[in-house]
């Protein structure tokens, strides 16, 4: 018999917008910043966990296997097994899903699952021509050979490649993520005005959540080594309106594209953790569960329309649990791009798509926007790639508790043509 898996607590750092140069925190720094207060308030020692699982995409050279580095810095003991998972935008949710399956099958009882990403620390990379020249120069024997090799140098060898830009470009289709969003928008007739209106609403919802204190207890203050502290998501622009966003030029498909810097997710640094527990751990440590994970689903599709991943994964998840879109009371659908979110909503309303792709008898129906991303999303918060899947699960639980709803779904598109979804029920 599969055992129930509970979410008992969680926390995250503020999401900090990447500006010029590396930000104040590395991925492990971020994981430690929100991990310390989370572990400190538990009624058990940090060493009581069975393992640590962390999602991270842009692992930096000084932090190989950041899960293990974070576990040691968090005082979880030298015996703590810790490993890092990577499935692009789904990495933070994959950590939860992997922990969920370990506990469900009776292998573990208490797991710390998270995501950490510092996109501002993405490296600059030498071009291959420069690497080959340097290798030839280093391998040259004798002064004459060294001089001959040095004379072959060209200025272009030292022109850096932006690693993040390449990382956000699909290697199969050669489309960057913004271009895939443009394609989804084209397929479903999403207009620029609709995208800008959605983006403005995301900022206004996050600004309201901050003002009303809805994120209290979820966002932990992060303290940098220079003494500065960060206590809120700093990418929010409360004054955003469809009219102001309409003034921005397209970024990826000029001049007629609709994806702009204003209706896209922001390049951001941040980390998030959730604590997963079995019934045995709940009883042993006298924990109070917040929610139970009912099911999860991963799906895959054409990388050029990766933004539709949530439609496939969430639909399969609901079908297996004999549920419809209308049975879900609260949704977190990661806002990679406004156009992409709107494309997903349009796909569920499209009868032909639902019949031919989802295998349904007709259109799946409409998701009430009042139930979707109630406190904003990645457009206003930012999208630290390895973290976002963890954050949307954490926030879904907290939002459902506040709203008094029972069942929710967290779902996301994944670069490379995949989608993930998780079904959560409040306890």
Q: How far apart are CA 346 and CA 337, in angstroms?
A: 14
Catalytic residue numbers read: 89, 383, 413
Cα→Cα distances 104→11, 239, 403, Å: 23, 45, 28
**Structural contact between residues 324 and 330, judged by C-beta atoms closer than 8 angstroms:** no
Q: How far apart are CA 384 and CA 15, in angstroms?
A: 8
Tell me the angle at which helices 192-212 and 338-349 cross, rounded to the nearest 10 degrees: 110
What DSSP line would sit under 150-172, residue for residue? HTT--GGGG--EEHHHHHTB-TT
Per-residue b or e along 174-210, where b marks 16 or more CB atoms closer than 10 Å to that residue's CB: ebbbbbbbbbbbebbebebebbbbbbbbbbbbbbebb
Q: φ and ψ at 229, to 5 degrees?
A: -125, 155
How long, in residues, is the chain?
Answer: 427
Alpha helices in 321-387 (DSSP H): 338-349, 351-356, 378-381
What DSSP line would sit under 58-80, residue for residue? S--GGGSSHHHHHHHHTT--TT-
Q: How far apart are CA 344 and CA 313, in angstroms?
A: 11
Structural element, H or E, at residue 179: helix 177-188
Q: How far apart are CA 392 and CA 410, in angstroms?
A: 6
Q: How far apart are CA 34 and CA 40, in angstroms?
A: 10
| Cα end-to-end span (Å), the chain | 20
Tell me the angle at which helices 388-403 and 91-104 cross, rounded to the nearest 10 degrees: 70
Q: How far apart are CA 407 and CA 295, in angstroms?
A: 12
Q: φ and ψ at 409, to 5 degrees?
A: -125, 130
């Amino acid at each position: 018999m599969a055992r129930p898996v509970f979410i008992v607590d969680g926390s995250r750092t503020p999401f900090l917008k990447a500006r010029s140069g590396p930000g104040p925190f590395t991925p492990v720094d971020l994981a430690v910043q929100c991990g310390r207060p989370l572990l400190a308030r538990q009624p058990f020692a940090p060493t009581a966990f069975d393992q640590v699982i962390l999602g991270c995409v842009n692992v930096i050279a000084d932090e190989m296997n950041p899960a293990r580095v974070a576990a040691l810095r968090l005082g979880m003991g030298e015996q703590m097994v810790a490993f890092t998972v990577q499935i692009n935008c789904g990495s933070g949710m994959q950590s939860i899903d992997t922990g969920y399956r370990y506990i469900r099958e009776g292998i573990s009882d208490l797991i710390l699952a998270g995501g950490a990403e510092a996109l501002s620390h993405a490296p600059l990379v030498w071009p291959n021509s420069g690497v080959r020249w340097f290798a030839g120069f280093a391998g040259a024997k004798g002064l004459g050979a060294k001089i001959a090799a040095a004379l072959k140098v060209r200025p272009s060898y030292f022109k850096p490649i932006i690693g993040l830009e390449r990382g956000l470009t699909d290697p199969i289709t050669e489309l960057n993520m913004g271009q895939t969003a443009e394609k989804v928008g084209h397929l479903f007739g999403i207009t620029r005005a609709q995208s800008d209106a959605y983006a403005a609403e995301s900022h206004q919802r996050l600004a309201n959540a901050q003002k009303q204190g809805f994120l209290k207890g979820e966002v932990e203050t992060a303290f940098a080594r220079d003494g500065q502290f960060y206590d809120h998501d700093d990418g929010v622009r409360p004054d955003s309106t469809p009219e102001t966003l309409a003034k921005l030029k397209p970024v990826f498909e000029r001049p007629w594209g609709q994806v702009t810097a204003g209706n896209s997710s922001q390049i951001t640094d941040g980390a998030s953790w959730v604590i997963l527990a079995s019934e045995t751990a709940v009883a042993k440590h006298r924990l109070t569960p917040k929610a139970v994970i009912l099911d999860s689903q991963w799906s895959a599709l054409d990388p050029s329309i990766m933004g539709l991943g949530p439609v496939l994964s969430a639909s399969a998840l609901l079908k297996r649990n004999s549920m419809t879109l209308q049975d879900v009371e609260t949704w977190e659908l990661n806002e990679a791009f406004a156009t992409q979110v709107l494309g997903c909503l349009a796909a569920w309303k499209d009868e032909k798509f639902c019949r031919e792709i989802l295998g349904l008898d007709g259109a799946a129906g409409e998701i009430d926007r009042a139930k979707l991303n109630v406190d904003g999303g990645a457009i206003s918060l930012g999208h630290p790639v390895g973290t976002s899947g963890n954050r949307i699960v954490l926030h879904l639980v907290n939002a459902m508790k506040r709203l008094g709803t029972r069942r929710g779904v967290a779902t996301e598109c994944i670069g490379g043509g995949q989608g993930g979804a998780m079904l959560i029920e409040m306890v």
